[in-house]
A = this chain, B = another copy of it.
Amino acid sequence: MTPDTRAREFDAADPLGHFRARFRLPEGVIYLDGNSLGALPKATPGTLARVVESEWGDGLIRSWNDANWFDMAARVGAKIAPLIGARPNEVIACDSTSVNLFKLIAAALAMRPGRKAVLSEPGNFPTDLYMIAGLEAQGLAQRRLAPREQLAAALDGDVALLMLTHAHYKTGALHDMAALTRAAHDAGALVLWDLSHSTGALPVDLDAVGADFAVGCGYKYLCGGPGAPAFAFVAEQHQAELQQPLTGWFGHAAPFAFSDDYAGAAGIERLQCGTPPVLGLAALEVGVDLIAEIGVDRLYAKSQALSEFFLESLMAHDVALDLVSPPRAADRGSQLSFRHPQAYAICQALIARGVIGDFRAPDVLRLGFAPAYLSFADMAAAARHIAEVLASGEWQREEFNQRAAVT
């Protein structure tokens, strides 16, 4: 049986197949980059038009009350919470992932006086590592990196925080959240999980593993749009003592009392800083609502089936690529990454065929499988395109070897 035949059978039996129609996907495109920027929900333009024309245009300043803009950050956070095993009052949607990392790294350092080390792994997503640099220059933190198999051993009495990304951005490899959280706590450290490559595709259970902090991205599997607001999680038991340094007026207990002195809000609202980005939050809410409607468990099951079928399809075409993702579906996020010295040009040649994947420097072709809108037919077709690009050598064309600004 060919991959195409099998794909038709899988798609016919796919309980999530009809959700594809809820997204706008351009003709002729197989989109394997939803882990970088999620596709556009068809409901988003209408919602945004309403927020812009009716709430902003007609409601004007009154919409802070009348359209509940004031509560948007907490409301969207509460909707993200069940996707990551958190209580509604433990999550808020605000700022960027990077800014939220800063708040929580600094908060952890304040909770562990005498400890300065922030432990992570080399090759973690750059901004996670970079956000330690500013605190290091201020003399407040010390970055410590250890390869993942040596992380537990590196957890000594200097470590205030263990900060890791659950699903690795480049390889998709998963950390054992429960075991590492336990190890950190045993060493007296706190834990911050970056869920950017998990939320909306993989089940995560922050409260069950006893996580202290987490952050995540709104524009990948949550389909919130380019540069969407991010989210932050603080376990309920830490909220009362939480000191985060971005002490802006929207995190104040009474922002509109206009007092001169800062007093943080009682709950997760303390994590807010400036005025919330209403347009960005409105778009994010549409994506979160849709992903929540589909359901994380069903998304995860389909994600695993898609990537397994994609590997089968590559084999059926006799494509032998160097897989850098974990071979077992249970050990990886919703992606497959392959190492090839010409990964950049191959990625460009695929994009020219409408198969949009991602290049990750220096030599990785990364294919993301957003289960909300991809079909098994997409998998079969993508595998065929890869086989053809490799067999034909068309990636050697000059046009595919010129680097763009953002790759």
Contact = CB atoms under 8 A, between A and B. Distances in A.
Given A31-B60, A361-B256, A226 B99 contact: no
Contact of A227 (B29, B260, B278, B360): B278
A45 B52 contact: yes
Interface stretch (A1-9, A178-186, A246-254, A292-300): A246-254
Contacts of A95: 95-96, 99, 274
A174 interface: no
Contacts of A123: 260
Interface in A90-148: 95-99, 102, 106, 110, 122-124, 126-127, 129-131, 133-135, 137-138, 140, 145
A204 B71 CA distance: 35
A95 B102 CA distance: 14
Interface in A218-248: 219, 225-230, 243-248
Contact of A102 (B37, B245, B351): B245
Given A53-B24, A246-B99, A274 B361 contact: no
Contacts of A55: 226
Contact of A56 (B40, B170, B258): B40
Contacts of A69: 226-227
A39 B37 CA distance: 31
Interface stretch (A151-159, A206-214, A301-309, A399-407): A399-407
A226 B279 contact: yes
Interface in A352-377: 356, 358, 360-361
B249 A98 contact: yes
Given A57-B26, A274-B98, A227 B280 contact: yes
Contact of A64 (B60, B122, B133, B406): B406
A29 B48 CA distance: 23
Contact of A45 (B53, B99, B127, B244): B53
B65 A53 contact: no
B258 A361 contact: yes
A33 interface: yes
Given A137-B245, A246-B134, A96 B361 contact: no
A330 interface: no
A326 interface: no
Contacts of A360: 258
A349 to B, nearest CB: 14
B135 A245 contact: yes
Nearest to A245: B134
A277 B44 CA distance: 16
A32 to B, nearest CB: 10
A49 interface: yes
A315 interface: no
A137 to B, nearest CB: 6
A260 B131 CA distance: 11
Nearest to A47: B52
Contacts of A230: 274
B134 A274 contact: no
A343 B52 CA distance: 30
A33 B351 CA distance: 48
A276 B226 CA distance: 8
4 shortest A-B CB distances, which residue pairs?
A96-B274, A134-B245, A98-B248, A98-B274
Given A131-B247, A135-B245, 7 more contacts: A52-B283, A63-B226, A65-B404, A98-B273, A102-B245, A130-B262, A137-B243
Interface of A: 24, 26, 29, 31, 33, 36-37, 39-40, 44-45, 48-49, 52-53, 55-58, 60-65, 69-70, 95-99, 102, 106, 110, 122-124, 126-127, 129-131, 133-135, 137-138, 140, 145, 170, 219, 225-230, 243-250, 252, 255-262, 273-281, 283, 351, 356, 358, 360-361, 404-407
